[in-house]
Amino acid sequence: MNFEKKILITGGAGFIGSHLVRKMVNKYSKYLIVNIDKLTYAGNLNNLKEIENKPNYEFINIDICNEADLSKLFKKYLFDGIIHLAAESHVDRSISNPKEFILTNVVGTLNLLNECKLQWKNSENKCFYHISTDEVYGSLGDVGYFHENTSYDPRSPYSASKASSDHLVRAYGHTYNLPIKISNCSNNYGSFQFPEKLIPLIINNIKQHQPLPIYGKGENIRDWLWVEDHANAIDLIFHQGKLGETYNIGGHNEWKNIDLVHLLCDIMDRKLGNVKGKSRGLITYVKDRAGHDMRYAIDASKIEEELGFKPSVDFKEGLEKTIDWYLENEEWLTNVTSGDYQNYYSKHYQQ
Ligand code: NAD
Ligand code: TYD
């Protein structure tokens, strides 16, 4: 088959990646979407069942740290664009095992940049698009927002590794004229998120009648965006964003952790037919995360004004949909929380 474009998506079996792959495969039948993923604990091909047999989709199990495999891949396909999401993504794991984050997030990104540099002698109509996080900007006080020109100030091994990869992407743009784009997004939530991150962890623990661990006083603030809105923004930036530019993505939706957990408890009690207040009784304050960033908040006016981005889903509606999905997808949840998850969970929350 002759495809209009060949697009490589890395980390497409993960949370955001699987939403993006599903969207791109369904929306662009004339593109070939090649998904490479190492299938770590966070990668799951069950996330992609809906599109796995589509003629414009291919999956290859590749570790982006493996240069020989990447070189073979780039010899086989002449890609028009790369949307790079593969990463180690959980802050708590980066605190206990930083090296894996440097290998995948920094060295893996470098390997992909080198392949593109080699392949794209003529870089016309090509694009290396790096998916990053607002955590590179550090931590805010009570007021202010992260803008695209906010100085980098990463404070966790995770955010330091993402900051480092952002710098490498920009350096390749500047030094070798590689056609690059970067976006930095706030916290995502929605279906298929691994239950180590706050929202699915709380939903799962309420289901299991387990304690709901709140770090510190629960006063830290995160700015939440519906994952499909992130995928929409990525599609928009990939097709219409300017080369060399950075776009912040967010939905103006700041929540104190404890307020968010209360809301989740109340929605879950209603859906499960519990006595009102039952789930709130499971809330347990635990030792704070080391170096816990206080507040993240995105100024998304650039992507709104230049590309017309607008989140499509209101937070309460998104949480209802997310909770429904976790309640209806018992098998998915059981699969991802068996084996290693139990080890991780008991080690992490016993500390
Ligand atoms: P995730 O942990 O759910 O998925 C990461 C995927 O990358 C997994 O499928 C995993 O198997 C794969 N992967 C890991 N190491 C790999 C390697 N060495 N080679 C190939 N594949 C590998 O993460 P996510 O939440 O979907 O995040 C995706 C991207 O978006 C990351 O780059 C993250 O930094 C960024 N991001 C995430 C959020 C968020 O709230 N989750 C917000 C902003 C930006
Ligand atoms: P998380 O989902 O890990 O995202 P990030 O740290 O990348 O923002 O955490 C969101 C917030 O919830 C963060 O302030 C840490 C807090 N948190 C808890 O209070 N308890 C938990 O068990 C987890 C996983 C997170």
Residue minimizing CA distance to atom 4 of ligand 1? 14
Cα–Cα dist 8/131, whole Å: 13
Question: Residue 350: what pLDDT?
Answer: 80
Residue minimizing CA distance to atom 11 of ligand 2? 198
Look up 129 and say whether it is catalytic: no
Contact present, 168 and 110 (Cβ < 8 Å): yes
Q: Judge if the beta carbon of residue 198 lies within 6 A of ligand 2.
A: yes
Query: Which tokens in the block code for residue 305?
Result: 């004004």
Per-residue H/E/C for 300-351: CHHHHHHHCCCCCCCHHHHHHHHHHHHHHCHHHHHHHCCCHHHHHHHHHHHC
Look up 158 and say whether it is catalytic: yes
pLDDT tens, residue by residue, 87-127? 999 999 999 999 999 999 999 999 999 999 999 988 889 99
Return the SS3 of 152.
Answer: coil
CB-based burial, 152-186: b 16+ in 10 Å, e otherwise: eebbbbbbbbbbbbbebbbebbeeeebbbbbbbbb
Q: Judge if the beta carbon of residue 108 lies within 6 A of ligand 1.
A: yes
Per-residue pLDDT at 351 exceeds 70:
no
* Number of C-beta neighbours around residue 97 at 10 A: 11
* Mean pLDDT (the chain, rounded): 97
| CATH annotation of 5-189+225-249 | 3.40.50.720
Contact present, 85 and 16 (Cβ < 8 Å): yes
Cα–Cα dist 135/197, whole Å: 15
Cα–Cα dist 303/239, whole Å: 13
Domain boundaries, the chain: 5-189+225-249
Q: Which residue in 134, 148, 223, 229 is the catalytic one?
A: 134
CA neighbor of 79 nearest in space, from 109, 25, 34: 34
pLDDT tens, residue by residue, 50-75? 999 999 999 999 999 999 999 999 99
User: Which ligand has an atom closest to residue 102 CA?
Assistant: 1
Pocket probe mutation, ligand 2, options 198, 230, 322, max atoms within 8 Å of Cβ? 198
pTM of the model: 0.99
User: Which ligand has an atom closest to residue 70 CA?
Assistant: 1
Per-residue H/E/C for 121-134: CCCCCCEEEEEEEH
**DSSP code of 263?**
H
Pocket probe mutation, ligand 2, options 92, 257, 350, max atoms within 8 Å of Cβ? 257
Cα–Cα dist 62/66, whole Å: 7
Look up 135 and say whether it is catalytic: yes
pLDDT tens, residue by residue, 186-235? 999 999 999 999 999 999 999 999 999 999 999 999 999 999 999 999 99
Residues 6+ apart with CB under 8 A from 28: 4, 5, 56
Cα–Cα dist 274/266, whole Å: 9
Return the SS3 of 33.
Answer: strand
Tell how far the Cα of 206 is from the centroid of ligand 2, in angstroms.
16
CA neighbor of 82 nearest in space, from 68, 98, 64: 64
